[in-house]
Amino acid sequence: MQVAFTTEELLSLLKPREVRGLTTKTISGIAGLAEAKPGDLSFLGNPKYKAEVTSSKASVLLLPLNYEGLPGTDQVYYLVDNPSVALAKLCSKIEQNLWPKPAPGIHPTAWISPEATVSKLATIGAQCVVEAGVVIGDYTHLHGQVFVGRGSCIGAHCWLMPGVVISADCVLKDRVRLQPGAIIGSDGFGYEFVGGKHVKIPQVGNVTLENDVEIGANSTVDRARFSGTVIGEGTKIDNLVQIGHNVTIGKHCIICSHCGISGSTTLEDYVVLAGQVGVGGHLTVGKAAKVGAQAGVNESVPAGTMVRGMPAQPYMTEQRLEILRRKLPELFKRVQKLEEQT
Query: How many angstroms separate the CA atoms of 191 and 211, rounded?
Result: 32
Q: How far apart are the first and last CA of the chain?
A: 72
Query: How many angstroms separate the CA atoms of 279 and 262, rounded?
Result: 6
Q: What are the Cα distances from residue 229, in Å, to 138, 220, 263, 281?
A: 25, 12, 9, 13
Helix-strand-coil split of the chain, %, nearest 5: 15, 30, 55
User: Is 141 strand, coil or helix?
Assistant: strand
Burial of 55 (0-12, 13-18, 19+ CB in 10 A): exposed
Q: What are the Cα distances from residue 341, in Å, to 106, 333, 335?
A: 85, 13, 10
> CB count, 10 Å around CB of 216?
20
Tell me, yes or no, if 245 is annotated catalytic.
yes
User: Is 172 strand, coil or helix?
Assistant: strand
Which of 143, 245, 258, 282 is the catalytic position? Answer: 245
Which residues are known to be catalytic?
245
